[in-house]
């Protein structure tokens, strides 16, 4: 299952989430320049539990190096697919959590989730000499927060069946709950990082993410958060939108809504609209919204409605909502 996007739009541009993705990418690009020195870097700046529990190893590192590794390990990655998987998950789930917490609280929340995920791995793999790297523990904390904040959101998911893409919408509580159970099962079945995956870091990050969310929601937002939100308000809605059309019993047409911003209504925009095809399967259509579109205006997609007995098809009528 490959998550494509969620159905909960964020009201503000996720500046911190985007910056975190950028920093991870830049650090990975630097890793690519190291060549044979990369392993040494990963051992120094990754989280190696044995460095903290074996005196002979701990003697080779300063207190600053030992402390800094709890931060630096979450910005290192072992390969392009490792980076891509983590950053894509952060892109999907992080913007909504930042939207709810505000940028400053979200940054602290993210770093704390990464820190506690590392501690979880260290405590349960105390003598492992394998460097733990990656943002997955911190991102697991973000996913834990999303699990509590938006349980009824839908995750548009791609399930490849041979060469055919199959799009389904999965409730967030089911998608994330299943993800957590798989992490826990894998963690319980091993005593160390097998295959480079620190399962207990994922489990700890997810659990502490839920705990930290409850604590952070008790903190009042600052005046700086309000000012940043005014400056980062979105001018555009999400490019990929999900439509759940309705129709009358004898009406071949389907009816749905598409949401755009006032700026998009003024200058025009192009959206990808995901609509049902057969059963749970979905199809993606391209919709051009012309400049000067008014709230309540209807866009007609010919031939995208219900099939008629004579082989013809009705139309899909999308009502434009400007907000």
pLDDT, tens digit, 9 for 90 and up, residues 112-149: 999 999 999 898 888 888 899 999 999 999 999 999 99
Residue 203 CB: number of other CB atoms within 10 A?
Answer: 24
| Residue with tokens 């919204």, as numbered in its chain | 289
CATH of region 240-322: 2.60.260.20
Judge whether 209 and 143 are in contact, CB under 8 Å. yes
Query: Does pLDDT of 279 surpass 50?
Result: no
pLDDT (mean) for 201-216 = 94
pLDDT, tens digit, 9 for 90 and up, residues 284-300: 788 999 999 999 999 99
pLDDT (mean) for 144-173 = 86
Which segments of the chain belong to CATH 1.20.1540.10?
2-231
pLDDT band for 194, please (50, 70, 90 cuts): very low
Q: Report pTM.
A: 0.79
| Residue with tokens 């866009």, as numbered in its chain | 299
Q: Report the alpha-carbon distance of residue 71 to residue 117 in Å, rounded.
A: 11
* 3-state class (DSSP) for residue 210: helix
Q: Report the alpha-carbon distance of residue 198 to residue 133 in Å, rounded.
A: 8
| Residue with tokens 């609209």, as numbered in its chain | 273
Q: Report the alpha-carbon distance of residue 232 to residue 106 in Å, rounded.
A: 15
CATH 3.10.20.90 assigned to domain 2-231? The reply is no
Q: Using alpha carbons, select from 4, 201, 14, 183 the residue that is nearest to residue 97.
A: 14
pLDDT (mean) for 247-254 = 81
Q: Please give the C-alpha separations between residue 77 and each of 26, 100, 141, 196, in angstroms, as whole numbers.
A: 11, 28, 18, 10
pLDDT (mean) for 184-202 = 71
pLDDT (mean) for 91-110 = 93
Judge whether 70 and 120 are in contact, CB under 8 Å. no
Q: Report the alpha-carbon distance of residue 17 to residue 96 in Å, rounded.
A: 10
pLDDT (mean) for 150-174 = 84
Judge whether 106 and 98 are in contact, CB under 8 Å. yes
Q: Is 107 exposed, middle or buried (0-12, 13-18, 19+ CB in 10 A)?
A: middle
Per-residue pLDDT, 195: 44
Which segments of the chain belong to CATH 2.60.260.20?
240-322
Helix orientation angle between 136-149 and 199-216, rounded to the nearest 10 degrees: 50
């Amino acid at each position: 299952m490959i998550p494509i996007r969620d159905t909960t739009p964020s009201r503000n541009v996720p500046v911190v989430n985007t910056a975190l993705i950028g920093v991870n990418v830049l650090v990975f690009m630097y890793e690519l320049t190291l060549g044979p020195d990369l392993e040494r870097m990963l051992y120094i700046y990754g989280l190696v539990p044995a460095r903290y529990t074996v005196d002979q190893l701990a003697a080779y590192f300063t207190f600053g190096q030992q402390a800094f590794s709890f931060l630096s390990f979450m910005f290192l990655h072992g390969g392009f697919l490792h980076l891509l998987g983590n950053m894509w998950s952060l892109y999907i789930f992080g913007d909504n959590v930042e939207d709810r917490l505000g940028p400053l609280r979200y940054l602290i929340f993210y770093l704390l989730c990464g820190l506690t995920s590392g501690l979880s791995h260290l405590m349960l793999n105390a003598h492992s000499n394998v460097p733990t790297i990656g943002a997955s523990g911190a991102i697991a904390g973000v996913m834990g927060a999303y699990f509590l904040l938006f349980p009824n959101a839908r995750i548009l998911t791609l399930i490849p069946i041979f060469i055919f893409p199959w799009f389904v919408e999965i409730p967030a509580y089911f998608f994330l709950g299943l993800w957590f159970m798989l992490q826990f099962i894998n963690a319980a079945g091993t005593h160390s990082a097998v295959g480079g995956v620190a399962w207990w870091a994922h489990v700890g990050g997810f659990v502490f993410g839920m705990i930290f969310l409850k604590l952070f929601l008790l903190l009042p937002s600052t005046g700086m958060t309000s000012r940043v939100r005014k400056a980062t308000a979105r001018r555009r809605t999400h490019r990929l939108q999900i439509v759940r059309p309705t129709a009358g019993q004898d009406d071949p047409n389907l009816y749905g809504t598409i949401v755009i911003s006032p700026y998009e209504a003024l200058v025009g925009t192009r959206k990808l609209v995901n609509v049902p095809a057969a059963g749970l399967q979905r199809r993606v259509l391209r919709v051009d919204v012309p400049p000067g579109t008014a709230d309540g205006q209807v866009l007609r997609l010919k031939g995208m409605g219900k099939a008629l007995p004579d082989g013809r098809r009705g139309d899909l009528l999308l009502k434009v909502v400007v907000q």
